[in-house]
Amino acid sequence: MHEHQHPNAKAVSNRLAKAIGHLEKVKRMVDNGEDCSQVLIQLAAVKSAINNAGKVILVDHINHCIVDAVQENDFNKIDELSEAIRQFVK
């Protein structure tokens, strides 16, 4: 397995921590019976935060793992990337 630290790992981790905190707040909103429209708006914000973190990971993966894999003639990594993108954009 090809493992190494990505340059933006700390930033992604921080983004995910904020998304988790935001999601916990949304759960409290639901538990407290707050307005459904506001809950949906806040859920959209959580989804956006997670998607943005995924985009950073994707760019890092292409710039490092995929470049390394191509240089090593490991074309299975491109297939794996294609599958990961398919799952990510579902």
Q: Residue 70 sits in a domain of what CATH number?
A: 1.20.58.1000
pLDDT > 90 fraction of the chain, expressed in percent and rounded: 67
User: N- to C-terminal Cα distance for the chain?
Assistant: 25
Task: Report yes or no on 15 lying in a domain.
Answer: yes
Closest CA to 56 of 12, 90, 18: 12
Is the model's pLDDT at 6 over the cut of 90? no
Q: What is the reported pLDDT for 39?
A: 97
Q: What is the reported pLDDT for 65?
A: 85
Task: Report yes or no on 50 lying in a domain.
Answer: yes
Task: Report yes or no on 4 lying in a domain.
Answer: no
**How many domains is the chain built from?**
1
Tokens of 27: 């759960």
* Rg from Cα positions in the chain: 17
Residue 31's identity, in one-letter code, is D
- Mean pLDDT for the stretch of residues 48-73: 90
Model confidence at 3, pLDDT cuts 50, 70, 90, reads low
CA distance 4 to 70: 16
Task: Report yes or no on 3 lying in a domain.
Answer: no
Is the model's pLDDT at 2 over the cut of 70? no
Q: Which domain holds residue 74?
A: 9-88
Higher local confidence (pLDDT), 2 or 67: 67
Q: What is the pLDDT of residues 22-34, one digit of tens each?
A: 999 999 999 999 9
Task: Report yes or no on 2 lying in a domain.
Answer: no
64-73 — which CB contacts under 8 Å span 24+ positions? 64/4, 64/6, 64/7, 65/2, 68/2, 69/2
